[in-house]
Amino acid sequence: MNFYSVLKELCLCPSVSGREQKIREKISAIVSPFCDEMRTDALGNLIAVKKGVGGGKRVMLAAHMDEIGFMVTFIEDSGMLRVATVGGISFTAAAFGEVVSENGVRGTIIPEEKVKPADFKADSFYIDIGAKSKKQAEAKVRIGDFFVLTPHVQKLAGGRVCGRPLDDRIGCAVLLDIAERLRDKALDGDVYYVFSVQEEVGCRGAMTAAFAIKPDIAICLDVTATGDTLGASPMACRLGDGAAVKIKDASVICNEEIVRGLCETAQENKIKYQKEILLFGGTDTSSMQLAGAGAAVGAVSIPTRYIHSGNEMCDLSDAQSCAALVSEYVKKIG
């Protein structure tokens, strides 16, 4: 598959947490040739399975389909829309951005007059869709509708891309790439490609999927922060330095054997990699670790600048390194 084309297709499909149907349909069509069976569970996770030839470890690879956004909570008489957040919104980054609803209604998200950036919060923001009255707004938008910052993807210099929501559509694209790489490989154990829901609101989907699958090994594919921007806190991860093998973040300490195995696999196959220690945040890694009787977990992250802003940035070579590393690791343990 053409990685950039797939990434762009996934990014341009607005699917906020709890409304992942459209992106799930796109991913289903792409992953179908690479798996033996596919299902959607009660929460909405897409689970594609490559069957093993017998008796090996059950491996779960997960990337989340959802993105952060806004939910309409009230419509003012003026036609302005009050909103609540869905996931971790930076209103400094979102202010004055163009937004689009799940039904294609466009507008802009605006802070109230005289509210200073230091005081930005959800109840001081509204969405202006251009409506002249509440009645006109209600003809286009309902309470409970979702909006997201307008999705877009653009190639930059040096093999890099910017846009949104790279978190975590680039992880989904990497997982699809892995599925294609493993399509014709005979592995002992089953491999479960899980495209999870509602990660941005509490890592919910991956936990229920892991509870049902009961994996022996689970690996998460998500973005991570970097230390290579001006004024950034010290961090070893940099764009262009390869796949980031997670050691820990604020929610998880990864399995030592998996961390070592991933690093050794990268060295054996001359795949660029770096080590990730994230002092804040978390991913589906922690929820898979604690589901049911638990699992040995690891994570391979795509270094990303400006996460949860209107313009996230990744290096496509890092994404390719992630896909190559996880593919080789799965073949090695399988």
Give yes or no: 199 in active site: yes
Instruction: Note the pLDDT tens digit of each residue in 24-75.
Output: 999 999 999 999 999 999 999 999 999 998 888 999 999 999 999 999 999 9
Evaluate the CA torsion angle 170, 176, 177, 178 in order and state its sign: positive
Residue 60, pLDDT score:
97
| Mean pLDDT, range 199-206, rounded to an integer | 93
Per-residue confidence (pLDDT) for residue 1, from 0 to 100 = 84
Total Cβ atoms within 10 A of residue 111: 19
Average pLDDT over residues 293-321: 95
CATH number belonging to domain 69-149: 2.40.30.40
pLDDT of residue 232 exceeding 90, the answer is: no
Catalytic hit among 9, 67, 180, 199: 199
Q: What is the pLDDT of residue 297?
A: 97
Q: What is the mean pLDDT of residues 154-159?
A: 94
How far is the CA of 274 from the CAs of 16, 206, 263, in angstroms? 30, 25, 8
For residue 323, give both structure tokens.
């896909």
- Cα–Cα separations (whole angstroms), residue 178 to 64, 85, 192, 331: 15, 33, 11, 11
Average pLDDT, stretch 306-325? 96
- With CA atoms as reference, report the closest residue to 326 among 173, 135, 208: 173
> What is the overall mean pLDDT for the chain?
95
**What's the token pair of residue 161?**
């891309």
pLDDT of residue 293: 86
Geometric angle at alpha carbon 191, from 190 and 193, rounded to 5°: 145
In contact, 324 and 7? CB cutoff 8 Å: no
**Domain 69-149 in the same topology as domain 3-67+165-333:** no
SS3 26: helix
In the predicted model, what is the mean pLDDT of residues 308-315? 94
Residue 100 pLDDT level (bands cut at 50, 70, 90)? very high
- 131 - beta bridge partners? none
Per-domain boundaries in the chain: 3-67+165-333, 69-149
CATH architecture of 3-67+165-333: 3-Layer(aba) Sandwich (3.40)
| Calpha distance 205→200 (Å, rounded) | 10
